[in-house]
Structure 1
Amino acid sequence: MAKASKFQLAALPANASPVSVEMHPVLQQLIREAGANANWHSNVTQLPVYQAARAADAAYRGRLALAAVVALRANEGRIRTTCLQLLEGLSRMTVELSEADYIQLLQAYGLVFDAPSGGSAAPNPSIVSDALVFPVGLTLGQLEKTTKKRGLGTSLAAYLAQFLAATERESTGYRVRDIGKLHHRLQVILGLADGNSRPVVTFPTGDPFGQALNEFAAGLPDADATTLPWLKLFQLWQKASGGQPTAKLRKELDAAVVAVGNENVYKQSSKWLQLLLTMPVVEHSNTVDYNNGHTYTYTSYTYLLDANAVVAKGMVWSLLPLLDEPLRQQVASLAGKCYRKIPGKGPLAVGLGNACLFVLSQGGLPGVAALAQVRSKIKQTNTQELIANHIEKASQKLGVSAAEIEDMAMPDAGLQNGRVHEEFGEYTATLTLLEGKAEVQWEKAGKPLKSAPSALKSTHAEELKDLKTTQALAQQTFLAQRERLDRGFVEERRIPFAWFQQYYFGHGLMAELVRPLIWRFHQVGGSFTDALWLDGAWCDNQGQPVELPSETDTVQLWHPVLADSAQVLAWRSLLDARQLRQPLKQAYREVYLLTPPEERTRTYSNRMAAHVLKQHQFNSLVKLRGWRYSLMGAYDKGYESDSAKLLVPGHDLRAEFWVSEVNADGAWNDTGIYFYISTDQVRFTRANADEPLPLPEVPPLVFSEVMRDVDLFVGVASVGNDPLWRDNGGLVQYRNYWENYSFGELGEVAKTRKLALERLVPRLKIGKVSEIKGNFLEVKGKLRTYKIHLGSGNILMTPNDQYLCIVPDRSVKTASTAGVFLPFEGDAVLSIILSKALLLMDDDTITDDTIVRQIKQR
């Protein structure tokens, strides 16, 4: 068909409908009026033809709408746009259409669902999405009003059922929210088709969650008083398309939950939450054929269909008035799962995760505590900031600081002095938090049992479930608060002694974390006392009691940069003598002071420059420590320097660790992200400025903690730590770096490790055949002598410094070091070195063929 000129509609075909013939002159007049307007179609509602349609009857507007959709499909450009604007305007007015007219109108939008003859062709997977350029929702709104007045005929009901099925197939994509609204509206319309008050509610079946909801809805009996309320609640869940529930939706959800019954919603939602927690992420292999002999295969992952993710959000929002500790822990666990990163996709289900965070944020102090637990597991910077904003808003409501509200929100899991007893008839369970591990011991009449009695699983199922929830809460809270304290050194926070007594020292759970730590008590006038809780009293580094703190004191977590070397060594000696393991590195914490080169460069440090790091591992580490960083890729500014940044609000400072991409052949993955980065300067600026701050003006504790973080990033993410990197295709141009790092000078972390080993080795089994020599732990085996580098843990064999590759299983704590006292937690390389030493001292008993072959090779 020949297209029209600028102001001329395309000619009608010979078989045009009577309606199109009638309205063609009207539409042509509209185009002329729009073309005469200087802004062309910018104000169609003011044109005479449009105003005449407003004044006409509903039947006229219905015929004009049918003609408009035919005309806009036959024309292009501004004419098409003008017709579309007319159609949208008419759809907002009352129109009169027969059922056949409605089918014709919707089909003109492209919503044609009948398969071609033979029925073999697959349906268009995006038929509904493609039709959303038309006012489909407005048309269904008109249809809904019509069916309320005159019912729904068989042919239109059958057509709408096909439409509904099509919306269920299109459960993913960027228009899924719009399709979800259509899906809900179609259900409402079809629910009135046979005069029955029971709505038809269905969910996409492409994941186990949708299947479970459909089975539940189908199993609701017609005669049950909760059936209709359940189905109406489901319909509300399908409306949960926003970032947060509107006030109106929250009110509707609360009323619907009451109608179903709080207990019913609680019980069923808990089951569905558990399903969401256990549902797997399904991996799909997809191949695209470009019809030119080339194909492209990629992997995609499915967890929850987008439409069902909206429903899950609605379910989570509806739990606000029902939250107790078990349900809160389920929501918190689901939030953690939703932010799990999936290759090529990013976080698993951001919208659902955000819904979980919102619900927790509305749960008062217990909710804030759950948010703090979730934050310790999440690496995404934007999500960390979202959680911080939720906590900040909660703190403003209560009139306290964000740090104080986190203190107040810490759950104690019912613990007193690190333990709680639960009676189950003749059995007793004792939950104990010991050295950071929450464990349950069972006994009967004073005799210990190996596990929970099987008989209780039927008689005390709910109580056992509650005990398991309490155990998980105690473990998660301890780990979250340990990380919070470790990252809090840099803030130098001082806490009033009374607050410290209530929320730390006297807290049933936190006491187990804070009592093995050293604290500085600041007195009025500027004096202070450093003390550790030993044998029921505050003691100095000689183990002698000190004067009790007063109510006017403030308390700060002690840091070795605040003391001289003699005091630090005294604290270490006391911990070693008492075999007191600190839950985080404190007495043995590395100290980083300004060096002469840094004083000369003045505004930056090159101490951590010129290292090659694995970028993805670096990215995980920096986010775990609260830094901000974006992966560098070959697609944007990968050719420039970038940096990881840490804000230190308490000092109005920002630390920057500069890095650059390692751009080599094949040095990026399928998504264009570089595998490796090289390190550069460390700088400090004011939080809202770019001008570098002279290093001497940075508080010593802040400088030390920032440099410690950077040393951690280098020490863990460096390719020099990977024993297989050189032999598994590591970049040729950086082989020398790998050699130098693997067996070169020690960083501060390795120096601290060396000090610890100097104390440990003589007390261990390996002491008779091992000694510290320079940067190595030298171990004399039966076959050869081995030098284990104290920085990387890599091994050289004498006499020719032959490299020995032993790859440790980092996911399992080896039995060989399980009984060894280590003065601090968190140094995996220390455990690896001891494990390798214990293995190699008896090298004649090693059975691993790979290791034996290397040892015997000369």
Structure 2
Amino acid sequence: MGIGSFIKQFLPNNSGNDSAFGELLKEASDQIGQTSWWNVNVTELAVFNDKIVRLTNKEKAAFIIYLVEHIAHYHNSHSSFSSTNVKYIRISMGKSILSALFKMKLELDDDDLAEIIHIAIRYNTKSAYPVKIPLKAFLNQIQKKYTDTPLPKTISSALKSLQNKVKNDADFCTELDKSKLTEQIGTILNPTTPGDALKAVLFPGDDELTIFINQNVARLPNEDKAHWYAIISLCKKASGAKPSNKYLDEGRPLINKLGADQFKVVASTWFDHFLTIKEKERRHTFTFSNQTYTDVTYTFLSAPATECFKGVIWLCATVKDTTLLQRVALVAERAYRKLPGHGQMSTAIGNASLFTLYKAEGLEGIGHLSRLKVRIKLNSTLQLIEKYMVQAATDRAIPVSVVEDLAVDDLGLINNTRIFEIDDCKAIIQVEKVDKVSLTWQKKDGGIQKSEPAFIKEKYPAQLKEIKLAAKQIEVNLSTQRDRIDLSFKQGKNMLWEHFDKYYLQHGLISIISHKLIWQLTHADGVTAAYWLNGEWIGYQQNVLAINNITEVCLWHPATATVDDVQQWRAFFIDKQIQQPIKQAFREVYLLTDAEINTRNYSNRMAGHILKQHQFNSLAKVRGWQYMLQGQFDNGADGTATIKLPENNLIAQYWTNVIGEEAGTSGIFNYVSTDQVRFVNMRSNETVALADIPVIVFSEVMRDVDLFVGVTSVGNDPNWRDNGGLPAYNDYWTSYSFGDLTEVAKNRKETLTRLLPRLKIAPVASITDKFLVIKGKKRTYKIHLGSTNILMEPNDQYLCIVADRSQKNLTENIFLPFEGDGGLSMIISKALLLADDDKIKDVTITRQINHR
């Protein structure tokens, strides 16, 4: 009896609800009622175990076909999808039963198997709501059944029809499913036998990475090819957010058979190529309401290639190799780079890289996670990194900050230098300062040149690539560690002397930063602020300090020092011409004001400013804060920027509100107004009185907030008012541009007062309450020490100068006692320019100067 005739036994009135199968569906629905049908495990229902499981194989096949057709008919008839609708509950129950049946081993005959394939061709679709035959699981059953016997013609014919459907119908399945089904059907139709020649297992997809990898494997010796085909076969199974232990356990012997060194070399080549791939832009023009629009989208990797490549990255967790992990970290950065209108390039590949860095043996991977935590801005990614960091710390029973210290690689640096020897040459990587790393070449005769010798490029391309990668890694890691140490002021981190000595003072990489900072040393005779110079601790009077038995060390902070001590340390760095990698001696200090004591629970010191929201969002994340952009849609954003301070059980909040009615093309509001700063208890969420906040923590949080205002306020934009801005807030622009000085600006004023006598503009420069005044050849200029905006005497005419990043940095050869204050550099640069205003060629500037 054919299955079609068999089914008719159960459909005497051609009515699903009146049939025997319909009764099974009704009985299952009745057993659960309407209260929890969406969360039921059908295999626990009596009707499933007592009746459905007991159906004959022929009856199960008929039941499957009945369910598919019945559910598809319901959806196609546009019936109700209400969760209270009895028929919809039965349809949902049918989907659950169908899924459970395909998880069982189905002993079906040839006709039944072929008929189910045809049913899948008829009803399967990649659309979200209709029922689907789980083809991969179903084809697995066919594959196992006919492992040792020829494929029957009925099934072969049905599979070829399915193969054609997958190939030609774009709505049948997703790109990833298409790749997997095509390969699986091909394997069933043309199985490999032990005597066959080596059969290629291709990396899936049709994009640039796929082509490169398949060509790369094709050039390998046959023995290596066989091992790589096995590895690629495993990587094609790399579904899910992270690998199972079974996946990694299967991967280890495959890599061992190939050889770990061979795996590293080939995988590194693939990663290097991945880093060079450019996203592809696609433009689609369409007309709507007589208007023509162009939709621009970007693509990076296909879904099949992404999944398989993810599997390769996971396998790197089983191989211990410094260079390989460096490349995995670079892959993560590339994957998290944003595409316009798309988001991150490939979150799946980025997350796979994070897992591998966390899972890799030792602490090198954790060191890369620590670096990525500073460089990546997306909240969800930062949370994942934090999760891995916390887990790594928990596994070792030590604080996260200590894990980060232990994980920092010295990258082979000794006395700020790393040397590679190739042939008769030496490649010398030299750290000149935190953000400047040079690579020079010393020839056999001792001569030094900046570019690599021609024969190195020709004979040793692989070594040259590794040397340049090492230089880049040193530069990136120095910058990251500088930022990490700067952010650690909020932690109030105390270190045992042994830890500090090993991981800060003597460390090849960190010592480049730590040797230029002031440290607070706790020792047998008390607490002393000291600076490490030429192998000795000295004070600000440049005297060698006799300090014995140091027990603890922490960063010195000016908020806990006397005014005289702060002034002496500032004089020390200027007199010694030492530039600190972070602003420490000249760091702004924020102490409680009378107004804040009166308000008690909140500060209005930074309220009432207008910020550019996108800039504010970016800067907040750089400083470790979390903020969600506010837009013309409900994404849960409440306008509050927060930073967790777990060491003190606190969360700091900076409140904002959107202003203006216009949003950008993305629906995000352009501007926000600022409100109060608060601190809340991390556990109870209750507001904490400002007087109870530790001095350094309060100062550092307020410093961040002042930085947000100082950098992203519209008052810093010389073109904001002229470009339209928000006309109702023009008074704010004027008051901020030339108003009272913030703490940052006050610090600039003091720094400039110390530096000015050393600058060539000293004879024509002076400092007033709010301005650096420059007497030029044509006019006198007042540069505001906060906004850096300029007024010209005698009538306080506004002078608009927009920074041109392509121009030479006028302050490049001027000593500044700290790095990182772009505003101070801007003020000095403008002053140098205007002191020689008769030499200015830019007509947009000269036109303003000459107009009175």
1:117 is aligned to: none
Q: Deviations over 1:392-447 (max 9, x none)?
A: 22233333322222222211111112112332233222221121122222222222
- Residues in 2 aligned to 1:770 and 1:452: alpha-carbon distance in whole angstroms: 45
Residue number in structure 1 paired with 2:274: 276
Partner of 1:756: 751
1:838 is the counterpart of 2:836 = no
- Written as runs of structure 1 = structure 2, the 5 A alignment for 1:402-417 is 402-417=400-415
Q: Deviations over 1:15-50 (max 9, x none)?
A: 995455455349612213544677178769978899
After superposing the two structures, state which structure 1 stretch, 332-341 or 134-143, moved more.
134-143
Instruction: Kindly indicate whether residue 842 of structure 2 is the aligned counterpart of residue 848 of structure 1.
Output: yes
- Is 1:726 the counterpart of 2:721? The answer is yes
Structure 1 residue 780: Cα displacement? 2.0
- In 1: Cα distance, 2:698 partner to 2:351 partner: 35
User: Which position in structure 1 is the counterpart of 2:164?
Assistant: 162
Q: How far apart, in 1, do the equivalents of 2:51 and 2:757 lie?
A: 100
3-state DSSP of counterpart to 1:786:
strand
Equivalent position of 2:564 in the other structure: 566
Aligned ranges 1:62-101 → 2 under 5 Å: 62=61, 65-66=64-65, 69-74=68-73, 77=87, 87-88=98-99, 91=102, 92-98=104-110
What amino acid is the match of 1:541? Y
How many Å apart are 1:51 and its aligned residue?
6.1
Match of 1:357 in 2: 354
CA separation in 2, counterparts of 1:278 and 1:263?
23
How many Å apart are 1:67 and its aligned residue?
5.3
Q: Distance in 1 between matches of 2:255 and 2:522?
A: 53
Residues 530 and 496 of structure 1, relative CA distance in 2, 3 Å threshold: same
Equivalent residue of 1:109, what SS? helix
1:24 to 11, 21, 34: 11
Please list, as runs of the form range in 1=range in 2, the aligned pairs for 1:99-138 lying within 5 A after superposition. 102=113, 104-110=115-121, 133-138=132-137
The residue aligned with 2:821 is: 827
Shift of 1:337: 2.1
Hey, what does 2:308 align to over in structure 1? 311
428-437 vs 338-347, greater mean Cα deviation: 338-347
Aligned residue in 1 for 2:442? 443
In structure 2, what is the equivalent of residue 461 of structure 1? 461
Cα deviation 1:297-320 (Å, max 9, x = unaligned): 443221222332211210101112
Shift of 1:597: 1.1
Preserved CA contact (<8 Å) 2:121 2:162 = no
- Which residue in the other structure is 2:653 paired with? 656
Q: Give 5+ residue unaligned stretches, structure 1.
A: 1-14, 114-125
- What displacement does 1:483 show? 0.8
Amino acid at match of 1:137: K
Q: 1:742 to 1:107 in 2, by over 3 A?
A: farther
Structure 1 stretch displaced more, 825-834 or 532-541:
532-541
Structure 1's 741 and 187: CA in aligned 2 closer, same or farther, altered over 3 A? farther
Alpha-carbon deviation of 1:665?
2.8
Counterpart code for 1:304? L
- Tell me the CA shift for residue 564 of structure 1: 1.0
Q: Say if 2:768 is the partner of 1:773.
A: yes
Match of 1:817 among 798, 811, 816: 811
Q: Which amino acid aligns with 1:733?
A: A
Which residue is 1:665 aligned to? 661
1:784 corresponds to 2:775: no
Superposition TM-score, scaled by structure 2 size: 0.89
Q: Structure 2 counterpart of 1:645, which letter?
A: T
Alignment-derived partner of residue 635 in structure 1? 633
The aligned residue for residue 488 of structure 1 is: 488
Provide, for residues 567-597 of structure 1, a one-character-per-residue CA deviation record: whole Å limited to 9, x for no partner.
1111111111110000100110001111111
Could you say if the C-alpha distance between residues 63 and 659 of structure 1 is closer, same or farther in structure 2, counting changes exceeding 3 Å?
A: closer
Q: Is the 2:799–2:849 contact (alpha carbons within 8 Å) kept by the matching residues of 1?
A: yes
Q: Does the 8 A contact of 1:226 with 1:259 survive in 2?
A: no
> 1: distance between equivalents of 2:496 and 2:93?
69
Distance 1:235 1:850 in 2: 63
What amino acid is aligned across from residue 657 of structure 2 in structure 1? S
Deviations 1:649-668 (A, max 9, x none): 22222211111111x232x1
Distance 1:615 1:798 in 2: 34
SS in 2 for 1:150: coil
Distance 1:559 1:49 in 2: 70
Q: 2:416 aligns with which of 410, 418, 442?
A: 418
Q: What letter matches 2:650 in structure 1?
A: L
Q: Which amino acid in 1 is paired with 2:675?
A: D
Contact 2:497 2:552 in 1 (8 A): yes
Counterpart pick for 1:367 among 365, 368, 388: 365
3-state SS of paired residue (1:151): coil
> How far, CA to CA, are the matches of 1:749 and 1:189 in structure 2?
71
Q: Is the Cα contact below 8 Å between 2:68 and 2:131 reproduced in 1?
A: no
Match of 1:261 in 2: 259
Tell which deviates more after alignment, 644-653 or 586-595: 644-653
Is the 8 Å Cα contact of residues 518 and 531 (structure 1) preserved in structure 2? yes
Report the CA distance shift for 1:465/1:737 in structure 2 as closer, same or farther (over 3 A): same
Match of 1:497 in 2: 497
CA contact (8 A) 1:505 1:515 kept: yes
d(CA) in 2 for partners of 1:48, 1:172:
34
The one-letter amino acid paired with 2:352 is: A
Whether contact under 8 Å (2:123, 2:132) holds in the other structure is no
Task: Write the distance in 2 (CA, Å) between the matches of 1:414 and 1:629.
Answer: 38
* CA distance 1:748–1:190, change in 2 (3 Å): farther
Aligned to 2:641: 644
Q: Which amino acid aligns with 2:724?
A: G
1:628 aligned counterpart, secondary structure: coil
Check conservation: 1:53, 1:60, Cα contact below 8 A.
no
* Paired residues for 1:545-584 under 5 Å: 545-550=544-549, 552-584=550-582
Point out where structure 2 has 5 or more consecutive residues left out of the alignment: 76-86
Map of 1:470 onto structure 2: 470
3-state SS, counterpart of residue 647 of structure 1:
strand
Look up the match of 1:9: none
Q: Could you state the TM-score of these two structures normalised by the residue count of structure 1?
A: 0.88
**Higher mean displacement: 772-781 or 486-495:** 772-781
Name 1:212's counterpart in structure 2: 212
Q: Distance in 2 between matches of 1:655 and 1:29?
A: 64
CA RMSD of aligned residues (A): 3.2
SS of the equivalent of 1:816 reads: coil
Q: Given the superposition, is the C-alpha separation of residues 187 and 263 from structure 1 closer, same or farther in structure 2, using an over 3 Å criterion?
A: farther
Distance in structure 2 (CA, Å) of the matches to 1:536 and 1:36 = 84
Distance 2:170 2:503 in 1: 51
| Secondary structure in 1 matching 2:363 | helix
Whether contact under 8 Å (1:69, 1:105) holds in the other structure is: no
Corresponding pairs, count: 819
Distance 1:430 1:90, change over 3 A: closer
Rounded to whole Å, the distance in 2 between the matches of 1:49 and 1:492 is: 61
> In 2, distance between residues paired with 1:34 and 1:106?
23
Aligned to 1:12: none
Which of residues 330, 334, 338 is equivalent to 2:335?
338
Partner of 1:39, secondary structure, is helix
Name the SS of the counterpart of 2:661 in structure 1.
Answer: coil
SS at match of 1:626: coil
Deviations 1:79-116 (A, max 9, x none): 75566566555543424343x76555334334599xxx
Aligned partner of 1:192 in structure 2 is: 191
**Counterpart in the other structure of 1:531:** 530
CA distance in 1, matches of 2:647, 2:632: 36
**Which residue, 669, 678, 684 being the options, matches 2:673?**
678
Report Cα offsets for 1:146-202 as digits up to 9, x if no partner: 3324334563453354355469998968xx5x6666456445434517885866745
- Going from structure 1 to structure 2, the CA distance change for 1:462 and 1:215 (only over 3 Å counts) comes to closer
Contact 1:419 1:432 in 2 (8 A): yes
Give distance in 2, aligned partners of 1:57 and 1:381: 53
Give how far 1:54 is off.
5.0
